[in-house]
Amino acid sequence: MPELLKNRYNRESVHELALRIRAVYHSFQVNDFVNGIMDKNWAGLELKARMRQITLNLGRYLPADYERALGVIDRVAAGYPEGFNDFALMYFPDFVEVYGRDERHWELSMSALERYTPLSSSEFAVRPFIIEHEERMMAQMALWTAHENEHVRRLASEGCRPQLPWGQALTSFKEDPTPVLCILERLKADPSPYVRKSVANNLNDISKTHPALVAKTAREWYGKDGRTDWIVKHGCRTLLKKGDRDLLALFGFADGGSVDIDGFALDAASVPIGDKVTFSFVVETKKAARVRLEYGVDYVKANGGRSRKIFQISELSLKDNTRRPYTKTHSFADTSTKKHYPGTHSLTLIVNGAERGTLDFELSAK
């Protein structure tokens, strides 16, 4: 299992930061700074709480004047090699979020967020600015869409995602995402895959609260540019998993009648938690067709109810009179984000958005 990101905020990394600061700001109190961060509560803090604890101690030991403090951070940031980007350095934009939201600091803070985002994304730091000054901040985001640096252009999209993971929710954009779509319109054919992925994720966020609006946007954007087509397809992934017929047709998955499923079977009627289940089936086509294959698992929840999660198998184009076998394995091992509970589970095969068979099995305790 990969190391938790929060664990990269540790005594060694904090001490390294302190030494970098002292190299450009000689009166910086290295030991007091490190000890102020690594207090008795540190072990129990999660990622963003650790980041904020570092930020607050930067505020305590850097110059009290905001402009002078940014000057120190700028010199520290300049010490990293060109192209360096590390999520763990987000305390730099977080410093701007905490100490730079006063009206008199607006231009200074906007410039700082722009400078720091190539080093470590400012996607969380911009959100309080949006909440407090939506129109002004979105005008700034619009300017960033034309920036020469892909990290800054990505910030224009990522920073205004209505439901950014780990980020403060942008309630007004969940209610009316029109200002966000204006930003995405400017980036829908961006040359950078890094930016396009953010645009797609933003579009997917919007689809969760405004599915009809995203479907309309998809129809308007699709078929004009290959880069935009990828964004539309990836941005509609939640709607496709829900079997939206219009979008399935838009991407060529309308014809399910010429596709047959044969031999759908599980390898076991009972599976212990921590093990895997294997299922198999055969796809048969009467005539040429685009085929989207998915399966849904109905999990037992802690309260005894059930909830479904959809998994994609593949998308492919098959010629007429084709017969293709599939074997797929699904794990029921517990992870940090998923706990399994014993009981009757179901596995459903889905072809072009339509259910084509369901098999039950027991998930048993270890």
- 161-209 confidence digits (pLDDT tens): 999 998 999 999 999 999 999 999 999 999 999 999 999 999 999 999 9
Q: Evaluate whether 310 touches 316 at the Cβ level (below 8 Å).
A: no
310 backbone dihedrals φ, ψ, rounded to 5°? -100, 135
Q: What is the pLDDT of residue 336?
A: 79
Q: What is the mean pLDDT of the chain?
A: 95
Q: Evaluate whether 349 touches 281 at the Cβ level (below 8 Å).
A: yes
Residues 223-243 have pLDDT tens digits of 999 999 999 999 999 999 999
Q: Which structure tokens are listed for 348?
A: 């459903």
Residues 124-160 have pLDDT tens digits of 999 999 999 999 999 999 999 999 999 999 999 999 9
CA-wise closest residue to 189 among 234, 235, 221: 221
Q: What is the pLDDT of residue 1?
A: 43
pLDDT band at 52 (very low <50, low <70, confident <90, very high): very high
Q: What is the pLDDT of residue 254?
A: 83
Coil, strand, or helix at residue 226?
helix
Residues 6-15 have pLDDT tens digits of 888 999 999 9
* DSSP letters spanning 264-309: EEES-SEEETTSEEEEEEEEEESS-EEEEEEEEEEEEPTTS-EEEE
The single-letter code of the amino acid at 74 is D
The single-letter code of the amino acid at 188 is K
Q: Evaluate whether 298 touches 345 at the Cβ level (below 8 Å).
A: yes
Q: What is the pLDDT of residue 130?
A: 98
Q: What is the pLDDT of residue 6?
A: 86
More confident residue, 52 or 6: 52
173 backbone dihedrals φ, ψ, rounded to 5°? -80, -25
Q: What is the pLDDT of residue 146?
A: 98
- Alpha-carbon distance 30 to 9, whole Å? 16
- 304 to each of 323, 341, 342, 345, how far by Cα in Å? 39, 9, 9, 11
* pTM: predicted TM-score of the whole model, two decimal places: 0.90
Q: Which helix (H) or strand (E) holds 54?
A: helix 47-61
Q: Which helix (H) or strand (E) holds 17?
A: helix 11-24
- Alpha-carbon distance 76 to 90, whole Å? 13
Q: What is the pLDDT of residue 3?
A: 63
Task: List, in sequence order, every residue forming a beta bridge with 330; answer none if it has no partner.
Answer: 277
- Alpha-carbon distance 351 to 284, whole Å? 11
- Alpha-carbon distance 202 to 162, whole Å? 7
What is the arithmetic mean of pLDDT over 261-284? 96
- Alpha-carbon distance 363 to 26, whole Å? 62
